[in-house]
């Protein structure tokens, strides 16, 4: 209680630096609050693209249903396979027709029979491991041609070039946005810590006097840290108010019209708010405490 | 060298008379060298008993402030040992330093008051620091402020007070928990002579109440008037330790002339006496 009163006194008597620190917290929280969902949406989009990395396994024409089923079980057991989808001959034809209606306008009658093989479509648990999955199912033979392990399988195929491209582009996007996010967080922390440092620097004489009167370090530190918490909290709280207002007035009407704005993977809003508040308060308090350490050495 | 005649003139540091069992302050062969080779104190030994009133005198840079800061454990001696009430300061861990300072009242030339607190709160702070209860604070603070003659300025801020008044506040703060030892570093350095007398009287009254007092000063007039024990420092060395001494030891006119010439660098051959 005493410390709390001391903190309020400190805030009252040095309003300008406290206000500056609070504004800094407000602005950085605002920027972070906007940027974090953007980063997440970008990364989500990148990983969506990565989902498209698949392996197609064509079932041999003469394979019996029993052979096919055992092949499916074997594939499901293979390491790094997340999902296996069976596509029957009829389904394959239907999909091909959907993709290219003009070629099938005359109907399959022209072909006499369905030329498309049944297949399994595999989604690897990690897109970068797609090569290993293929290697396991159909290791390269001595001539360099792939030889399927299972008799029911005719061929294992994945679009190698496309896959490589997808992997490198999405990898780059992820690294760049991640780097930006990290940079922003570091800059925010540095900025807040520095502003608080300045505000405490202005009062170092006061701290020195407290030491000389025989105050223990924590006795001096508590009021400053409580001050930091108050400053950090009000800053973030104001930022949250602004963010919420912006979200309600700008983003909500838009998301009705364009579904893609409501990216599925962005952070839940309450969680975002909670994180911001926690970070703002923690950085402010820790900034106060750490800055004081230097003056408390005497 | 100018220092040589100076040393000769001064009686060798008189062996301090036997004092009461445990001296309040003891310096034993204390040397303090600052980074960069500046020497603040050189092999200084002094012992101050309970209830004494000691002036630490000497020109600027002679080591008075170093002495005070060593006693507060603001500095660590490079050599030798500083003891307060028989306890070596080097044995006090960093965490216990605040406890030491609570038992040593300090008064500074620049008052060192907390600028954003009233007179009352400034004095109350040193009680709050030791965890004194609210009732005790409410009782003790006005008491001590009455003692220093500031009962009408309880709610003024330091920048609304004169220098003498600020120094009174700082004395009140130093004395409010009745420490056994009071250190004053140039307490009258920023004050005019008349105000200085008031401040000195106040410190003297505190001494009379049983508190050991060490005052570092170069206020010659004050020292000469008070006639208390004088410890003189020169370039970090204790060159004189005298009961009821003067700021300068008694010297004849000739001696004064020699010293004057020596300090001016004219040399003895200037005028044949």
Q: Does one domain contain both A181 and A284? A: yes
Domain's final residue, options A157, A178, A212: A157
pLDDT in tens, B87-128: 899 999 988 889 999 999 999 989 999 988 899 999 999 999
Which residue reads 């300072």 in tokens?
Answer: B101
Q: Is the pLDDT of residue A137 over 50?
A: yes
Contact list in B for residue A214 (CB cut-off 8 A) is: 98-103, 126, 129-130
Domain count across chain A: 2
Return the CATH number at A80.
3.30.70.3040
Are residues A104 and A125 both part of a single domain? yes
Asked if residue A54 has pLDDT above 60, the reply is yes
Residue A125 in any domain: the answer is yes
- Please report the pLDDT score of residue B251 as a whole number: 64
pLDDT of residue B189: 87
Residue A88 has a pLDDT of: 85
Check residue B5 and give its pLDDT: 44
Residue A200 and residue A64 share a domain: no
Q: Are A190 and A287 members of one domain?
A: yes
Task: Report percent pLDDT > 90 for chain A.
Answer: 4
Q: Say if A264 falls within a structural domain.
A: yes
Q: Are A39 and A175 part of one and the same domain?
A: yes
What is the predicted ipTM? Answer: 0.75
Assess whether A83 and A190 both reside in one domain: no
Domain end marker among A125, A157, A189 = A157
Rounded (10°) CA dihedral B187, B61, B16, B91: 80
In this structure, are A210 and A274 located in the same domain?
yes
Q: Which residues of chain B have pLDDT under 50?
A: 1-20, 270, 272-273
Record: contact B116-A206, CB cut-off 8 A = yes
Query: Would A162 be classed as within a structural domain?
Result: no
Range of the domain at A124: 54-157
Mean pLDDT within A208-234: 88
Q: Do A257 and A227 share a structural domain?
A: yes
Cβ–Cβ contact A78 with B under 8 A: no
Residue A251 reports pLDDT greater than 90: no
Please state, in angstroms and rounded to a whole number, the distance separating the CA atoms of residues B136 and B162: 28
Out of A117, A136, A157, pick the residue that ends a domain.
A157
- Predicted pLDDT of residue A147: 73
| Low-confidence winner among A24-33, A57-66, B124-133 (lowest mean pLDDT) | A57-66
Domains in chain B: boundaries:
3-19+51-68+179-270
User: What's the whole-number mean pLDDT along residues A251-255?
Assistant: 68
pTM score of the predicted model:
0.68
> Which residues in chain B are closer than 8 Å to A219, comparing Cβ atoms?
98, 129
Q: How many CB atoms within 10 Å of residue A36?
A: 18
Same domain assignment for residues A266 and A204 = yes
* Mean pLDDT across chain A: 81
CATH code assigned to B3-19+51-68+179-270: 3.40.50.300
Q: What tens digit of pLDDT does each residue of A34-45 get?
A: 888 788 778 777
B102 touches A at CB < 8 Å = yes
The answer to whether residues A131 and A36 belong to one domain is no
Output the CA angle B151-B157-B162, nearest 5 degrees: 75
Look at residue B214 in the predicted model and tell me its pLDDT: 94
Q: Does B8 touch chain A (CB under 8 A)?
A: no
- In terms of domains, do A27 and A63 share one? no
Do A120 and A85 meet the contact criterion of CB atoms below 8 Å apart? yes
Q: Nearest by CB to B101, which of A2, A13, A214?
A: A214
- How close, in Å, is residue B159 to chain A by CA atoms? 14
Query: Taking a C-beta distance cutoff of 8 angstroms, is the pair A156, A148 a contact?
Result: yes
| Residues facing residue B46 across a β-bridge | B27
CA pair distance A120, A37, nearest whole angstrom: 36
My answer on whether A173 and A291 are in the same domain is yes
pLDDT at A159 over 80: no
């Amino acid at each position: 209680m005493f410390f709390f009163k001391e903190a309020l006194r400190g805030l009252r008597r040095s309003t300008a630096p406290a206000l500056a620190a609070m504004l800094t917290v407000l602005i950085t929280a605002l920027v972070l609050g906007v940027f974090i969902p953007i980063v997440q949406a970008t990364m989500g989009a990148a990983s969506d693209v990565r989902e498209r990395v698949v392996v197609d396994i064509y079932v041999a024409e003469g394979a019996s249903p029993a052979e096919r089923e055992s092949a499916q079980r074997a594939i499901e057991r293979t390491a790094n396979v997340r999902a296996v989808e069976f596509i029957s001959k009829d389904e394959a034809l239907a999909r091909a027709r959907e993709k290219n209606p003009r070629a099938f306008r005359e109907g399959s009658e022209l072909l006499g029979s369905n030329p498309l093989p049944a297949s399994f479509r595999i989604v690897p648990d990690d897109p970068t491991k797609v090569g290993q999955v293929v290697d396991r199912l159909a290791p390269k033979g001595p001539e360099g041609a792939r030889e399927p392990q299972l008799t029911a399988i005719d061929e294992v195929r994945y679009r190698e070039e496309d896959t490589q491209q997808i992997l490198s582009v999405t990898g780059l996007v992820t690294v760049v946005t991640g780097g930006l996010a990290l940079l922003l967080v570091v800059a925010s922390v540095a900025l807040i810590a520095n502003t608080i440092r300045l505000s405490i620097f202005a009062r170092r004489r006061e701290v020195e006097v407290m030491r000389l009167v025989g105050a223990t370090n924590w006795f001096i530190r508590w009021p400053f840290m409580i001050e930091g918490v108050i400053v950090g909290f009000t800053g973030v709280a104001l930022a949250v108010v602004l963010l919420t207002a912006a979200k309600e007035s700008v983003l909500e009407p838009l998301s009705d019209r364009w579904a893609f704005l409501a990216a599925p993977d962005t952070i839940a809003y309450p969680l975002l708010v909670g994180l911001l508040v926690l970070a703002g308060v923690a950085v402010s308090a820790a900034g106060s405490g750490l800055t004081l350490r230097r003056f408390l050495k005497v | 060298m100018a220092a040589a005649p100076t040393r000769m003139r001064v009686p060798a540091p008189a062996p301090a008379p036997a004092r009461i069992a445990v001296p309040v302050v003891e310096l034993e062969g204390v040397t303090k060298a600052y980074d960069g080779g500046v020497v603040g104190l050189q092999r200084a030994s002094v012992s101050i008993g309970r209830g004494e009133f000691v002036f630490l005198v000497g020109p600027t840079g002679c080591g008075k402030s170093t002495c005070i800061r060593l006693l507060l454990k603001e500095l660590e001696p490079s050599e030798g040992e500083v003891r307060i009430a028989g306890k070596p300061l080097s044995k006090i861990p960093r965490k216990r330093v605040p406890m030491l300072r609570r038992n040593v009242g300090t008064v500074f030339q620049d008052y060192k008051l907390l600028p954003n607190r009233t007179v009352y709160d400034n004095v109350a702070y040193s009680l709050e620091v030791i965890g004194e209860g609210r009732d005790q604070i409410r009782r003790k603070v006005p008491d001590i402020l009455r003692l220093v003659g500031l009962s009408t300025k309880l709610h003024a801020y330091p920048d609304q007070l004169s220098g003498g008044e600020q120094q009174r506040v700082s004395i009140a703060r130093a004395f409010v928990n009745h420490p056994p030892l009071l250190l004053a570093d140039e307490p009258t350095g920023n004050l005019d002579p008349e105000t200085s007398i008031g401040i000195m009287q106040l410190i003297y009254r505190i001494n009379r109440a049983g508190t050991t007092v060490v005052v570092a000063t170069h206020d010659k007039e004050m020292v000469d008037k008070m006639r208390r024990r004088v410890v003189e420092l020169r370039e970090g060395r204790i060159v004189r330790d005298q009961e009821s001494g003067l700021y300068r030891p008694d010297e004849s006119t000739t001696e004064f002339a020699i010293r004057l010439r020596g300090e001016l660098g004219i040399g003895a051959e200037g005028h044949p006496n």
